[in-house]
Amino acid sequence: MALRSFTDYRLSEDIVRALQSLGYEQPTDVQHEVIPIALQEKDLTVKSRTGSGKTAAFGIPICELVEWEENRPQALILTPTRELADQVKQDITNIGRFKRIKAVALYGKQPFAKQKLELHQKCHVVVGTPGRVLDHIQKGTLDLEKVKMLVIDEADEMLRMGFIEQVGAIIDEVREDRMTMLFSATLPQDVEQLCHQYMQNPIDIEIQTPEAAKVQIEHALITVKETEKFNVLKDVFVTENPDNCIIFCRTQEHVDDVFQELDQLEYPCDKIHGGMVQDDRFLVMNAFKRGEFRFLVATDVAARGIDVEDITHVINYDLPLEKESYVHRIGRTGRAGKTGKAITFVTPNEMRHVAEIEEYIGFEIPRHDAPTEEAIAESLPAFERKMQATPVIKRDRSDQLNKGIMKLYFNGGKKKKIRAVDFVGTLAKIEGVTAEDIGIITIQDNVSYVDILNGKGPLVLRIMKNTTIKGKLLKVHEANK
């Protein structure tokens, strides 16, 4: 079979270039199936686990189909959690970087007014959680008239979290001649129902998950008494010596307890759960992504949308009570073709839940004993070496893409009657600068931000200190990140 390539599809050069800069060399299975159909604007339901590249599977056609000249939102993407909304917005921004696609994320616990302002400006793609999106619709701050693409991401999770009515209410507000794409790791009955109710002859795509998951992820089940769990966890850390690992607990209290005990023993660790404020959740996630610490203790909810490359281990400290969540949790490892290990602790009276999970995933999880004294002694030196090693800080995929991009701040905007074309007109006249070097332009009432691409930022900054825009000399400097 010939190697697949993103140039096989009808994609513009701007998009293909961004994918190259992101290091996406070849489409993944789900992208290969979805992109050509989505480009024809047909309805789709896609069963595919997270980590399969599904965000780009809808992100690429959306960025391709968006008309840059249209100022109002053309795509709406619903996600179950704030982290995922933010991640998807970031992915869309990266894919659409050279086409200058503007994406806005809407979710709760963030100032409504700030989001309203963002929606008021040019905005092509809106990504949000159902509650806040509905809030904007009801207050008239989100204009859906031009939305021709709708994505329901992680539909199963959305329904599990009780968002069904809100999702339905939002869909009812979007024009009927839209394209709808639904993504879900699992397709329980209520998700199927949602598809039938709101989609027109959708094409069903299924990317084989359990088998693939089985190949990429090594599963293990260890029977352990509740009181022994923490000791077994420490032993497993020694024998497995994970590079990085998520430890899932059932409740926020349990996360707090496990984290506190690990922290006291000076393990490089942190925690994330829905009871923490959003900014702290982002800080923790970003530090984990960069590899600043190895052990993340988490609840299910907070772990949705976590896209961290190279997670080597997932430990289910508490057995997930819902069979679907086993698939979601283990989906945090073995991502994008990498291998991973999923170790599950089960107390003797929870065995019947294991049977349900096994029936669901279609295979038996291999039983293992807790690590023996000998195994621990043998692994200890390597474990201690890694514990003492300085963490290697990883770079984000988008770093490469962002290299050569400088965001400039100008102290003038709408109130001075400045529009995007005024910036393009002025900047493109600078010797050595073309319209291709100008990225996303954001114009607010009193200030504007312009991304300058291809390493031309310092040149533009120098020239603009003495050049007027629409006859006005504006203050300009590099924007704070």
**Measured from the CB atom, is 97 or 397 closer to ligand AMP?**
397
Smallest distance from the beta carbon of 95 to ligand AMP, in angstroms? 10
- Tell me how far apart the alpha carbons of residues 245 and 294 are, in angstroms, rounded to a whole number: 6
Cβ atoms within 10 Å, residue 206: 12
How do strand 476-478 and strand 438-443 relate by DSSP bridges?
A: unpaired
Q: Give 400 or 411: the residue with its C-beta nearer to ligand AMP.
A: 400
Of 50 and 333, which CB lies nearer to ligand AMP in the complex structure? 50
Residues that bind ligand AMP (CB under 6 A): 24, 26-28, 31, 50-56, 307, 309, 335-336, 397
Closer of 183 and 248 to ligand AMP (Cβ): 183
Nearer Cβ to ligand AMP, position 26 or 446? 26
Q: How far is the CB of 156 from ligand AMP (least distance, A)?
A: 15
Question: Cα 407–412–416 angle (5° rounding)?
Answer: 145
Least separation in angstroms between CB 408 and ligand AMP:
28
As measured in angstroms, the least distance from the Cβ of 101 to ligand AMP is 17
By beta-carbon proximity to ligand AMP, the closer residue of 273 and 397 is 397
Query: In this structure, are residues 98 and 17 in contact, taking their beta carbons and an 8 Å threshold?
Result: yes
Task: Specify the residue, 60 or 361, whose C-beta has the smaller distance to ligand AMP.
Answer: 60
In the complex, minimum distance from the CB of residue 334 to ligand AMP, in angstroms, rounded to a whole number: 11
Cα–Cα distances (Å) from 408 to 30, 284, 402, 426, 476, in that order, read 37, 28, 14, 14, 7
**Would you say 313 and 242 are in contact if contact means Cβ atoms under 8 Å apart?**
yes
Q: Locate tokens 């009801």: which residue?
A: 138
> The tokens of 345 are what?
């602790």
CB of 357 to ligand AMP, least distance (A): 22
| Nearer residue to ligand AMP within complex by CB, 28 or 448 | 28
Question: Shortest Cβ distance from residue 211 to ligand AMP (Å)?
Answer: 17
Question: What letters, b where the CB count within 10 A reaches 16 and e where it falls short, cover 266-276?
Answer: ebbbbbbbeeb
Minimum Å gap between C-beta 19 and ligand AMP is 7
CB of 30 to ligand AMP, least distance (A): 8
Query: In terms of CB distance, is 144 or 306 closer to ligand AMP?
Result: 306
Residue 93 or 166 having the CB closest to ligand AMP: 93
Identity of the amino acid at 79: T
